[in-house]
Amino acid sequence: MIYEETDYTMFYYDIDELLNTVSTYTLINTRHSKNEAGESNTDDISLTNDESALFNKLLKKGGLEIFERVSVLSKTITDAFLFDTSDDESTSISEAGLLIYKVVLPTQWDDNISKLLDENIESALISYVIKEWFRINGIMDRYQVENENYKTLLSKIKGNVVYRKKNVKITYRGF
């Protein structure tokens, strides 16, 4: 989601919604998994709300990794990356339970890029947690697929930040 303040733009993501998305994805992708006895082990290897502490740890780590790609837009902002400030009394209640990136968009920023950047960041956050979850559970074939997806999304985010400006029409005179 995107929220514009006077001094900066905020990209924010609800941690609980991300947990639900990742849980659903891992449940669907592990529904055919069986243990050695031939019984379904979907409950053992899909991420559930019981693992929310690990999820939060992975999400924060992935969020910081993704922030490295957008931090060039945050040079003048203090606390440009925030993660679940519900325990912090100095922040507003509206920031609780959210992962937030604060950026200053350049004057020539193409507004169409904001939505693409928002979608790519959210997808990368989800992909990071999923790939790490598969790695932790030893599902290496799915880890490799998700890792490639994550790398692609990081590349897209970098592209969104680099190619962020509107095309400027150049007028040549004297010809």
In whole angstroms, what is the distance from residue 12 CA to residue 80 CA? Answer: 11
Give the rounded distance of the alpha carbon of 54 from its chain centre: 16
> For residues 146 and 134, is the Cβ–Cβ distance under 8 A?
yes
pLDDT digits (tens, 9 = 90+) for 99-120: 999 999 888 888 888 999 999 9
In a domain, 171, yes or no: no
In a domain, 173, yes or no: no
In a domain, 52, yes or no: yes
In a domain, 167, yes or no: no
In whole angstroms, what is the distance from residue 16 CA to residue 52 CA? Answer: 9
In a domain, 172, yes or no: no
Residue 73, domain extent: 2-162
Write out the chain's pLDDT in tens, 175 residues: 888 877 889 999 999 999 999 999 988 877 766 666 766 666 677 888 888 899 999 999 999 999 999 999 998 898 899 998 776 554 454 667 899 999 998 888 888 889 999 999 999 999 999 999 999 988 898 899 999 999 999 999 999 888 765 555 555 665 4
For the chain, the domain total comes to 1
In a domain, 100, yes or no: yes
In a domain, 154, yes or no: yes
In whole angstroms, what is the distance from residue 27 CA to residue 38 CA? Answer: 18
Beta bridge partners of 87: none
